[in-house]
Structure formats: C-alpha cells, structure tokens
Amino acid sequence: MKKLFYLTLLTLGTLACNNEQEQWDASGVFEADEIIVSAEAMGKIVALDIEEGQSLKKDQVLGKIDDQSLSLQKSQLEASVKSLYEKRGSAQPQTGIYREQIKAQKENIATLNEQLKVLNRDRARMENLVKADAAPAKQLDDINGQISILSQQIKAAEANIGTLQQQIKSAESSVSIQNRAVLSEEAPLEQRIASVDDQIDRTTIISPMDGTVLTSYLKKDEFATIGKPIFKIAKTDQLILRAYITEAQLAEVKLGQEVNVSIGSESSAQSLKGKISWISSKAEFTPKTIQTKDERSNLVYAIKIVVPNDGQLKIGMYGDVAF
C-alpha cells in the first residue's frame, strides 16, 4: 500500500514539473536597437564627456573635435567676399558731374525763357509801332533775330540735357556690368562658406537619440578620423526579446499581440507584458542557444517582442514567452 502511495506522489510530481515546463511557448534573448556613433570630422578630440552606462538625451552635446583649421578657412572665405564688395565700382562720381551739368543747363534754359518772354513782349509792341509808322522796321527785325537766337540756344541746351542723361545711363550700365562680373564670384564663395559651416557643425559630437552608452571607443585628446567609432548607444527604455517559434505556432501569433514575458529563475521568476512587433516571413534553422517548445523542430520563425524596461532588463538576458 505504501509503495502505491509513494508511486502516486512521484507520478503527480513528474506531471507537475512537466506542466511547469510547458507554461512557456518560446524563449529568447533580450537585445536593443544599437547605434554606433562615428566621427563626422577629422581632428583631435578637444572635449568628450562620455562614460559607459551613461544615460543620454537626444541632441545632447557630448564633445568637440578641433575645428581651428576650419574656422581659419571660413575667415579667409569671408575676407574674400568682403574684398569683392570693395572691388565694386560706383558710377556716382561720374554721374554726379553729369547731373550738375544738367542742373546748370536747366537753370540756363530758365534764364533764356525769361529773356524770350521779354523779347516777345517787345516784339508785340514794336509790331504795333511799325504798323503805325512810329518806328523803323529794322528795330523789329533786330528783335526777331534776338528771339531766333534765344530759341536756338534753348533747343541746344535741351539737346545737351538729353545727351547728359544718356551719358548717365551709359555710365550706370557700364558700372553695373563690371559689378556683376565681380559679384559673380560671390555665389561660389558663399557656397564654400556654407560647406565649411557644415563641416564645423560636424565637429560637435551629439547624441542621436535617448539611450544608454554601451561602449566608449575614444577619449579626449585622441585623434578622430571620419567614420571612426566614438561610442555605441542603445535605446534601453524598452528592449526587444528575439524569440523563435515553430511553424505550428505561427497561427497563434499576430503583430501587435500582447504576450506574457517571464524573466529570472523558476523560484524568482517575474512576469512582464510585451507586444509582438515583428514576425519573420522566412524560416531558419533553430539557433543552438535557443529552445523551442517542440525541440524536434529544425526550422523556426523569428519574432520580436517589445518589452518596456524599468531597469531590470539587461541586454543578453534570457526570457520566456507565453502566448
């Protein structure tokens, strides 16, 4: 009887262990989206404040690569642009003389017009006197001659004003053409300045995202070259559990599905919530370090489960999943 009792207990214990083992549907390893931040400029690192395990914010300034040579290049280019403006010609001195001459001609025309008015009045009176035989016709002829001379002088002055105005336009056009030739060099210089500004901006080392520094490759006073890794950062506020399921389990999962994730040993296991963010469309051979519910399955499908992390999850930890 005793033998039967102990045999029954042993059987129940074995079944209980089997049930515990079958509570999970897949297992995997936690990983994170990692980014290796590389140098975008070449030079000595004059400042760098990075430690492994340090929490960073997006766009946080972390260090600086020496940009003295680039700053000198920019200063030289800016000086070249300034010199271009100093080379520009001005038509003002020449056109100023023409405008003064126009002003003098207009004043002369005004004087001549006043004289012409006086002569026209004198001519009217003289015509009346000649008709009345009170004055000789020669006096009328003299007045007409003076009026003709004044009219010609006025026309000549007006023509001279037109010529001066044309000379002003010609001088301004000539200087404008010369200035355009000089300033045509400005656009390439401005583009080169913009290029140098971009290179100077790249000497500032910044964090590309919120995350934690996993590895630091360079230190202050070391020499950086373009493309050389400076540090590795990962987003750790949520980790990704990469697990593998069999073809038979594919029907049980879908994108966005909430699942239970277990971490820790059986005696101190903790249950977390996660969501399936990716399901592979291709089967692959089961990785040697990963277990599946059906160990007889050779081909499996990878899935990714996003799990919020309050600090207890670490990259490389194992986790079990229950659908």
Mean pLDDT of 233-262: 91
Examine the pLDDT at 35 and tell me if it is beyond 90: yes
Examine the pLDDT at 297 and tell me if it is beyond 50: yes
Q: Of 314, 315, 289, 292, which Cα lies nearest the Cα of 303?
A: 292
Q: Is 198 exposed, middle or buried (0-12, 13-18, 19+ CB in 10 A)?
A: exposed
Examine the pLDDT at 53 and tell me if it is beyond 50: yes
Is 209:236 a contact under the CB 8 Å cutoff? no
Determine the Cα–Cα distance for residues 66 and 221; give it in Å rounded to an integer: 10
Which two tokens mark 229? Answer: 């890794």
Which two tokens mark 313? Answer: 């999850």
Is 277:240 a contact under the CB 8 Å cutoff? yes
Phi, psi dihedral angles at 11 (to 5 degrees): -65, -45
Determine the Cα–Cα distance for residues 97 and 103; give it in Å rounded to an integer: 10
Q: What is the pLDDT of residue 6?
A: 36
Q: What is the band of 172 on the pLDDT scale with cuts at 50, 70, 90?
A: confident
Q: Coil, helix or strand for 297? A: coil
Q: What is the pLDDT of residue 254?
A: 93
Examine the pLDDT at 295 and tell me if it is beyond 90: no
- In terms of residues, how long is the chain? 323
Radius of gyration of the chain (CA): 48
**CA-CA-CA-CA torsion sign (208, 210, 211, 216):** positive
Strands 258-263 and 284-285: unpaired
Q: What is the pLDDT of residue 20?
A: 43
Residue % of the chain over a pLDDT of 90 = 54
Mean pLDDT of 181-208: 91
Q: What's the DSSP call for residue 250?
A: G
Q: What is the pLDDT of residue 290?
A: 57
More confident residue, 250 or 21: 250
Mean pLDDT of 258-267: 85
Q: What pLDDT, in 10s, does the model give residues 100-111?
A: 999 999 999 999
The conformational region for residue 264 under phi > 0 = left, psi -120 to 50 = alpha, else beta, is left
Q: What is the band of 18 on the pLDDT scale with cuts at 50, 70, 90?
A: very low
Q: What is the band of 19 on the pLDDT scale with cuts at 50, 70, 90?
A: very low
The separation between CA 156 and the C-alpha centre of its own chain, rounded to angstroms, equals: 63
Which two tokens mark 55? Answer: 């929490």
Mean pLDDT of 289-311: 76
Q: What's the DSSP call for residue 294?
A: S
Q: Of 189, 220, 188, 184, which Cα lies nearest the Cα of 205?
A: 220
Q: Is 35 exposed, middle or buried (0-12, 13-18, 19+ CB in 10 A)?
A: middle
Examine the pLDDT at 58 and tell me if it is beyond 60: yes
Q: What pLDDT, in 10s, does the model give residues 115-156?
A: 999 999 988 888 888 888 888 888 888 888 999 999 999 999
Name, of 37-46, 83-92, 307-316, the range with top average pLDDT.
Answer: 37-46
Q: What is the pLDDT of residue 225?
A: 95
Q: What is the pLDDT of residue 133?
A: 82
